[in-house]
A and B are shown apart, each in its own frame.
Chain A
C-alpha cells in the first residue's frame, strides 16, 4: 500500500510489536487456549503485514485459510482435549529449556549478523537491471492467476491432489 512514510513506519512498528508479543504468548502462556488465541493474533498481524507490502491476494488467502480454517481447527482441537491436565504438571524452567534457549538465541544472533552483513542494495541493483521494464496494467491477483495457469501449472495441480489426499487421510485417521 502506498502510504506516506511516517504512517507506514508507525503501522510497521505496531504490527511488529503485535508479532513479537503474540510469538512470546504462543510459547510461554501456560494454558493452550490462550496460546491458540495469541497464534490468531500473530496470523492476523502477518496478514496486515502482507497488505503493507502490496500483496493483497496472499493477505486474503492468509486471512481465509490461516485465521479462518487452521486457527479455528487448532482452537477446536484444544477444546476437544479437556484442559484439566495442563495445569497439574506445568513445568518450571529446566535444564533442557536453558540449553534450547541458548541455542535459539545464538541462532537468532547469527541470523541477525548475516542479515546485516549482506549488501542488499547490490542485489537490488543487479536484479533491477536485467528485468524487462513492463508496466503492469493488470492487477496483482490477475498476475498470480496468470502465473498459476501457465508457469506453475503442474505444481498447482500437485498441490490440489496433496490437499485432497490429506483431507481424506485426516478424516480416515480421525473417525475410526
Chain B
C-alpha cells in the first residue's frame, strides 16, 4: 500500500529534521532543519487529505496555512540571525548570549 511508504518517508524527514535541529551549531542550518520538519507535516497533511478526505480537501487548506506560517517564521528567524550576526560577528548557537550582560 502506497500510504505506508509515504508516511515512512515523512517520518524519515521529521526525524532527520529533529536530529539536525538538535546537533547543528549554525543558526541558519537550524532554520533549514525546521523547514524540513514543517515539510514532513505538510506531506502528512496532503497524503491524508488525498486518501481519506478526497472531495473535501481540508488537509490541503491546512497545508497552505502551514506554508504561510513557515514563510513568516523564516522571515523572522533570518532577521533575528542577521541582527545577532551584526552584533556578535558569528552565527553559532552557543555564542548567542546577548541577554547575558
Contacts and interface: CB of A to CB of B under 8 A. Distances in A.
Interface of A: 12, 16, 19-20, 23-24, 26-27, 32, 35-36, 39, 42-43, 46, 49-50, 53-55, 57-58, 61-62, 65-66, 69-70, 73-74, 77-78, 80-81, 85-86, 89, 91, 96-97, 100-101, 104-105, 107-108, 111-112, 115-116, 120, 123-124, 127, 131-132, 134, 136, 140, 143-144, 147-148, 152, 155, 159, 162-163, 166-167, 169-171, 173-174, 176
13 contacts: A19-B13, A20-B9, A39-B35, A46-B39, A49-B43, A57-B64, A70-B70, A77-B81, A115-B4, A127-B52, A134-B55, A152-B61, A166-B72
Contacts of B43: 46, 49
Interface on chain A toward B: helix, strand, loop, or mixed SS? Answer: helix
A39 B32 contact: yes
Interface on chain B toward A: helix, strand, loop, or mixed SS? Answer: helix
B79 interface: yes
